[in-house]
Structure 1
Amino acid sequence: MRTREAHSGQEGPGFRTFVAICLGQAVSMVGSRASRLALGIWLFQRTGAVTDFALVAMCDALPVLLLLPFTGVVADRYDRRRVMLWADSAAALCTLAVAGLVLSGHFQSWHLYLAVIAGASASALQSPAWSAAISQLVPPAQLSRAVGLVQVSEGMTDILAPTLAGWLLAMGGMMAALVFDFATFLVGVSLLLLLRFPAVPRVEAGGQPGSAWREAVRGWEYVASRRELVGLLVLASMVTMTLCSMEVLVPPMLLAHTSPAVMGMVMSVAGVGALCGSVAMSTWSGPRRKMDGVLGAGALMGLALIGAGLGGSVVVMAVAGWVAMFCMPVVWSCAHAVWQLRIPAELQGRAFGLRRMVGEATAVVVFFGAGPLVDRVLEPLLAPDGALAGSLGGVFGVGKGRGVGLLLFLLGLLLMTVMAVVRARPGLYRIEDDVLQDNPTHATGVGG
């Protein structure tokens, strides 16, 4: 490991230290997600209103969108390990406050909204600091593996948290979930207290009081002034749009012809694909040129969507879902590595905050727009008496769910076309050229 780190020109605690911190953050994330799900179940049992869930989602998303530009500045201005400790501690205090309200019998629905806002604000503070810290801890040749491990932990959280939330509620009610959340916080914070991050060079004089807005703008300006980084951000947004469309459209498409149990099985198969892709990227570093990974996996994801749109059967949807979700960690890991290699360490907190903010905004637009587009336009067009029933209906079929199939096909075709165009043009595809020339051993895929 020392040889590889020295050869890569990076100094730091090394890959093992990163793994330890990643494990602690993963444990803490499972506890937070499980307790939040438990609170959501409590709210639904109390009110039975779907509108309340929408309000909870808004409370979870809005602080992230509003705070990320400034929390990125915090991540760049201050020690990132301390920023993560601040964020985790704030979330833990929120958990203790909720537990106190529950014990006293004063916990109300509006307290839940405040708790979600506080938790989302802590996440907005922690996320850019953790993302930017990865390049401090890991040499360049291991960045894709590191991001793959982070995605494995996130995938395991998605699998474990719902089961744990239900089990904790059954065993000890909401208080059991809150105690579990606080216990997992202790694990994550203990590892952060024991381990150290290498120092980040400070090359700007932007740390003076009152300059937070200027520092936030500095991160945006750095990205905006580099066409290749803007292109990579747009490319990532397109992949986000595709994944969010699958999330909101595939379940209704399946439920039009199958039972909820079968739909759940297909979605589980897709989840396994995402986990397999994350594991693959955590053991392999991806191709030497990371853009090959972004474009190749992105094109394969588009092909899977085309198959899902044309197919529609349970088997085809399961296979397409597995392939598409397997490709997702490959795209994110390789794009993340490029992002870290192309942006100075002292600006990475702001850059990652900007990237996540764009992703969150893309997701919101898709969630609000995909449903009406299908319900009001595409589904009527492919109804048995629809305007396209006699033409495209011969390819995609007619009836309920076929409008979703058409949209998935169009998204897949768009994704494949964009990936092919980017590969054929020298600009964005060659974003890594100077890095590869300066460090020929970059991203060789050697394990660590």
Structure 2
Amino acid sequence: MNLKDIHRRFDLGRSFYFLWCGESMAVVGTTMMGFALGVWVYSHTGSAVAFTNVILAATLPAIIFLPLAGGLADRISHRVIIVCCDVSLALLLLGIMALLWLDRLEPLHLYIFNCLASIVAAFRKPAYQAAVNTIVAPEKFTRASGLISISKNVSALVAPQLAGIIMAKAGLVMILGLNVVTFCSGTLLVIKAFSHVRFAPEPRHGVGKEPVLRSVLDNIASALKFFSVGHLMAWLLVYTVVRNALLSLATVMMTPLVLSTMSSQMLGMAYTWSALGGLFGAGLLVLIGHPRKLMALVGVADLLLAACVVSLGVVSHPVAYCALAFFAISAACVADACVSSLWMHKIPGGNRASVFALINMLTIAATSLVIFVGGLLVDHWFQPALAPDGRYADSIGLWLGVGAGRGVGLLFVVAGGLFALLPLGVLLYGPMRRLAETQPQPQTIQASDSPSVNAL
């Protein structure tokens, strides 16, 4: 492959790369901030409940506002929403910095900050997801999704370590200051990305004379209708929500699984290898480009993910944990990028942000529920049953072992085994397996200077 071919394969347009770089800076800053705020709260309170409240405050408010945010993003320019959200978050950060500087910062302030930041993110994310459609040619959606996945995994690999070093040397105020810089810089890159793109909503009867709120509600209703009309898209929604919930459950429960028998250093190694696996999987998909049978690839990758999750519940050796974490996240990233590409192809132009918002809302709700139920199962059923004198000690315990951490191991086995039924169903059901080969929805967002997306 010569340089010309490489340039053609990776030419997603300058606008996308500006937008991607701006989003990557925001992801790194957000990851560093989340890590630093959690450390600050736990170090000042010593309470695990206070620590988990920080996480819940940063996620749950988004569930309420995501539908409204998606409808608004289908009515208003994506650039305006993203820039306003970045500026709002920078102002919130300056407020926290002022409280910290005056030595008046308390955990309650961080709960409020995380709630407000979650609402801002609820408006920003659907606009960003829909914006990628406006500046990337359809045949390059998969490669764009792979690049977005790379930035997320680089952030997961680098940001916590970097935040830990900065916290130790300069404290929380430096982390917050860097976040202000990253969000402001990202805003400039977003403005540059959209400098040649004009927002042009899909024309509808009478929509120009409708009040904004009425139009937003209509977009939300259209998003719901999109899933009620086509059963294949409804199944893809179920598949997306369930797989994301399982991946989040495995990621969260990896901590008690490893720490029950090993050190925190070993846990850090497992997460490092999982992030490297994410980079490998996303990089592989970027090199492949746009596979013809996207959904079949998703099914195979998720079968590998399910097998790795089950195996993580069985093994107990450090090398096995790292290897399985690597392959699990590699497979997950391949499937994630392919599913994202499918959504970008299938969602109609006038309702992209609304549909993305609905997907994100259901994913957050399902993930919170699955993690909560998983914790209850481990504490009140699986772990007591796999104690040395427990109910399953002489049956399942002969296979999984008994004692500390084996309840979490059983959760991994059960969750991975149940999840494997979904990709098996995809591979066996022809219409779902061939979903990517059906006619995509027409694109309705156009560039201002040229009808060709590639010209951007």
Task: Work out whether the TM-score is over 0.5.
Answer: yes
The one of 271, 292, 299 aligned to 2:296: 292
Match of residue 369 from structure 1: 373
Which digits, 9 at most, give the CA deviation of each residue in 1:274-309, with x for residues without a partner?
Answer: 121122223322521210121110111112123223
Structure 2 residue 175 is the aligned partner of structure 1 residue 177: yes
Give the structure 2 partner of residue 165 of structure 1: 163
Query: What does 1:119-130 correspond to in 2, within 5 Å?
Result: 119-130=117-128
Match of 2:318 in 1: 314
Q: Which 10-residue stretch deviates more, 56-65 or 328-337?
A: 56-65
Match of 2:361 among 357, 364, 367: 357
Q: Number of aligned residue pairs: give it.
A: 429
Distance 1:18 1:396 in 2: 48
Aligned to 1:430: 434
CA pair 259-164 structure 1, distance change in 2 beyond 3 A: closer
For residue 446 of structure 1, what is the aligned residue in structure 2?
none
| 1:21-420 paired onto structure 2 within 5 Å | 21-196=19-194, 197-204=197-204, 205-206=206-207, 208-209=210-211, 210-211=213-214, 212-420=216-424
Say whether the 8 Å CA contact 2:142–2:289 is kept in structure 1: yes
What secondary structure is seen at the aligned counterpart in 1 of 2:367?
Answer: helix
Closer/same/farther in 2, CA of residues 308 and 162 from structure 1, 3 Å limit: closer
CA distance in 1, matches of 2:223, 2:413: 36
8 Å Cα contact 2:142-2:338 kept in structure 1 = yes
**How high is the TM-score relative to the length of structure 1?**
0.89
Distance apart, 1:154 and its partner CA: 1.3
Cα distance change, pair 311–195 in 1 and its aligned pair in 2 (3 A): closer
Question: Contact conserved, 1:286 with 1:293, CA < 8 A, in 2?
Answer: no
Cα deviation, residue 61, structure 1 = 1.2
| CA-CA distance at 1:436 after TM superposition | 7.8
In the TM superposition, what is the alpha-carbon distance from 1:233 to its structure 2 partner?
1.2
TM superposition score normalised by structure 2: 0.88
Q: Distance in 2 between matches of 1:173 and 1:395?
A: 47
The structure-2 alpha-carbon separation of the partners of 1:265 and 1:236, relative to structure 1 and needing over 3 Å to count, comes to same
Structure-2 change in CA distance of 1:175 and 1:411 (3 Å): closer
Q: Distance in 2 between matches of 1:360 and 1:343?
A: 20
Q: Which residue identity lines up with residue 360 of structure 1 in the other structure?
A: I
Q: Distance in 2 between matches of 1:89 and 1:357?
A: 23
Change (3 A) 1:77 1:44: same
1 CA distance for matches of 2:323 and 2:412? 15
Contact (CA 8 Å) 2:18, 2:192: kept in 1 or not?
no
Using the alignment, how far apart are the partners of 1:59 and 1:134 within structure 2? Answer: 28
User: Bigger shift: 412-421 or 148-157?
Assistant: 412-421
Q: Deviations over 1:245-299 (max 9, x none)?
A: 2123232222232222222212221221112112222332252121012111011
**Aligned counterparts of 1:383 and 1:330: Cα–Cα separation in 2:** 37
Does the aligned pair in 2 maintain the 1:338–1:432 contact within 8 Å?
yes
CA distance in 2, matches of 1:316, 1:113: 38
Cα 1:89–1:323 shift into 2, 3 Å: same
Instruction: Write out per-residue CA displacement over residues 359-405 of structure 1, whole angstroms, 9 at most, x where no aligned residue.
Output: 11111012211111022212222333223322223322233322322
Assess if the C-alpha contact under 8 Å between 1:206 and 1:215 holds in 2. Answer: no
How far off its partner does 1:133 sit? 1.0
Amino acid aligned to 1:179? G
User: Deviation of residue 130 (structure 1)?
Assistant: 0.6
Residues 108-156 of structure 1: per-residue CA shift (max 9 Å, x gap)? 3322222212211111111001111111111112111111111111112
Name whichever of 285-294 and 359-368 sits farther off: 285-294
Change (3 A) 1:394 1:50: closer
Distance in 1, matches of 2:440 and 2:182, equals: 40
SS of equivalent residue, structure 2 residue 439: helix
Q: Is the 8 A contact 1:286 1:330 kept in 2?
A: no
Matched letter for residue 127 of structure 2: A
Are residues 224 and 175 of structure 1, via their aligned partners in 2, closer, same or farther at CA, if it must alter by over 3 Å? same
Deviation at 1:199, TM superposition (A): 3.4
Distance 1:175 1:382, change over 3 A: closer
The CA distance in 1 between the partners of 2:140 and 2:190, in whole Å, is 21
**Distance (whole Å) between structure 1 residues aligned to residue 405 and residue 31 of structure 2:** 32
Stretch moving more, 132-141 or 304-313? 304-313
* SS of residue paired to 1:232: helix
What do you get for the CA RMSD once the two structures are aligned? 2.4
Report the Cα distance in structure 2 between the residues aligned to 1:384 and 1:94, rounded to whole angstroms.
Answer: 51
- Counterpart amino acid of 1:374? V
SS in 1 for 2:59: helix
